[in-house]
Amino acid sequence: MYYSTTLPSPVGTITLAGHDGNLVGLWTHGQKYHSETIPEAMVENNDIAIFDITKKWLDRYFAGEKPDIAELPLAPTGGEFRQSVWKMLCEIPYGTVTTYGEIAKSIAGKTGRESMASRAVGGAVGHNPISIIIPCHRVVGANGSLTGFAGGLQMKVKLLEQEGLDMSRFKVPKKSTAP
């Protein structure tokens, strides 16, 4: 059975989803692809251990701490390629960014391919079912453009500022480019 709960946060209302003691989803209100990876109806339940652990993790994050992703049992649902991209996202340190192209190059190297399309990586990043914790907001365009965030560009800016990034070096497109 899949369970859900909601909680307020500095970036709006967050919905958490849990299954078998793991966190399987974290979405903000109005986020693209909200709960698309959950295969059945979720039952609201505020008394699940993973939700308590996640709420404490998020409280620490929004208080300016840098909690370790490994503290949470994460189980995002997705194919092998998406899983490999999400795993790489978890390796991006707080307060830093990488590009879609850098991730594509790294995955290509790990899989023995000559190259990989940045757009494919962008699709996987955009469909990340555990946003904020799996830090898809730390991925930017090669030219410094803040592109491709399913939670919206304002939220991406807020999360990067939360982590202490100097936003003056980034470009905010006039229109969202989320996949």
Mean pLDDT of 148-171: 89
Residues classed as catalytic: 136
> What residue ranges do the domains of the chain occupy?
2-71, 80-169
**Domain 2-71, CATH homologous superfamily name and number:** Methylated DNA-protein cysteine methyltransferase domain (3.30.160.70)
Is residue 87 pLDDT above 80, yes or no? yes
* Equal CATH topology for 2-71 and 80-169: no
Q: pLDDT at position 150, please?
A: 80
Mean pLDDT of 25-47: 84
Residue 110 pLDDT grade (very low, low, confident, very high; cuts 50, 70, 90): confident
Could you tell me the pTM of the whole model? Answer: 0.90
Q: What is the mean pLDDT of the chain?
A: 90
Burial of 51 (0-12, 13-18, 19+ CB in 10 A): buried
For domain 80-169, give the CATH number.
1.10.10.10
